[in-house]
Amino acid sequence: MIRFKGRVRSLGLPGAVLLFAVGTGVILRARRTLMRELRQLRRVAAAAQNAVLRPLPPRIGGLDVAAAQVSAEHGAAIGGDLYEVLATEHGVRAVMGDVRGHGIGAFGTVAAVLGCFRDAAYDEADLGGVLRRLERALDRHLRQEHPGSVAEEFVTLLLVEIRAGGEMVALNCGHPWPYRLSGTRVEQLAPADPYPPLGVFPLPAVPATVALGHLPPGDALFLYTDGAQDARDAHGRFFPLPFVLASVAREEPLAPQAVLRGVQSALVDHSQGTPADDIALLVLRNEGFMPPGVRGPARTTTTHPQPTTHL
């Protein structure tokens, strides 16, 4: 240090100013390069996220749809939560899941599970068959990712099938049960104890679906990952999800995007920014199923996808 100061003094004031200017220019150039690379990485991450966790169209098979996702890693677009909604000949089928961990480390598992669901939802006649396919896909993925070792990774998963007429059935593997929103009434549907998360214990040979009741026209189903109910404020208090849902459900008509905006805003206020865990939210509103067995004109749906909302 003393030697350096001596060199600066030997340069004189003009030389010292020149040295400072050159050093500052090098630092600023390096900073601009790093920021440019960071922006590029974020664009790549966002493109990967949209390719795997695809934006949902605003209407699917008689349901108005809205979804949102936020990563627990600040500035990241990629998270460990997953969702999808598909209109099949068996009804509208939705999946909501939460991979252990978050960020890039969980993204491969998200891709494996969603890729399998997008095939199995169309191919399998019952939800039990879909769930068994997901279990096998997860097992293959973990064996490929962790050859020769036991992977300590699992996925909580909720499968819901909404049939013509609004009848709902579900399979739950360690995931929070959904809420039904009907005007100012908010009811959590919890008909049975869930199975363990996928990857923890083998499933039964024939997983039994449970009835969730009906989703009448105008009512909505709210699915979420546990990052929403477990979010805490500065005093360690949990996010009051049922209270917030009751508050945002008062609006008429019950618009899925309005529900999401209200919950998102309340989550941001409660957690004061980035939450501790990934969060995914999904709202499905019955805008009017045709009764079972009654055939009518084909429903026109919007083909332009809505962008996935991020907190």
pLDDT band with cut points at 50, 70 and 90 for residue 94: very high
pLDDT band with cut points at 50, 70 and 90 for residue 297: very low
Q: Which pLDDT value is given to residue 44?
A: 46
Residue 91, classified by CB atoms within 10 Å of its CB into exposed (0-12), middle (13-18) or buried (19+), is buried
Q: Which pLDDT value is given to residue 308?
A: 42
pLDDT in tens, 205-259: 889 999 999 999 999 999 999 989 999 888 889 999 999 999 988 877 789 999 9
How many H-runs (helices) and E-runs (strands) does the chain carry? 6, 11
Identify the helix (H) or strand (E) that includes residue 227. helix 226-229
The whole-angstrom separation of Cα 116 and Cα 109 is: 11
Angle among Cα 229, 175, 145 to the nearest 5 degrees reads 115
Of 282, 254, 289, nearest to 162 (Cα)? 289
Q: What separation, in Å, do the N-terminal and C-terminal C-alpha atoms of the chain show? A: 48
Are the C-beta atoms of 198 and 138 separated by less than 8 Å? yes
- Point out the least confidently predicted range of 13-27, 219-233, 287-301: 287-301
Q: Pick the residue with more confidence: 52 or 43?
A: 52
The whole-angstrom separation of Cα 219 and Cα 155 is: 28
Residues 164, 168, 173, 179: what is their CA dihedral angle, to the nearest 10 degrees? 120
- CA distances in angstroms from 259 to 124, 158, 242, 254, 271, listed in the order given: 32, 20, 12, 8, 18
Residue 128 CB neighbour total at 10 angstroms: 18
In percent, the amount of the chain with pLDDT more than 70 equals 72
pLDDT band with cut points at 50, 70 and 90 for residue 149: low
- Point out the least confidently predicted range of 88-97, 156-165, 252-261, 296-305: 296-305
Of 123, 134, 130, 129, nearest to 89 (Cα)? 123
Q: Pick the residue with more confidence: 94 or 8?
A: 94
Which amino acid makes up residue 1? M
Identify the helix (H) or strand (E) that includes residue 158. strand 155-162
pLDDT in tens, 169-212: 999 999 999 999 987 789 999 999 999 999 888 999 889 999 99
Angle among Cα 192, 157, 138 to the nearest 5 degrees reads 130
β-strand pairing of 185-188 with 279-286: unpaired
In percent, the amount of the chain with pLDDT more than 90 equals 47
Stretch 285-301: mean pLDDT, rounded?
50
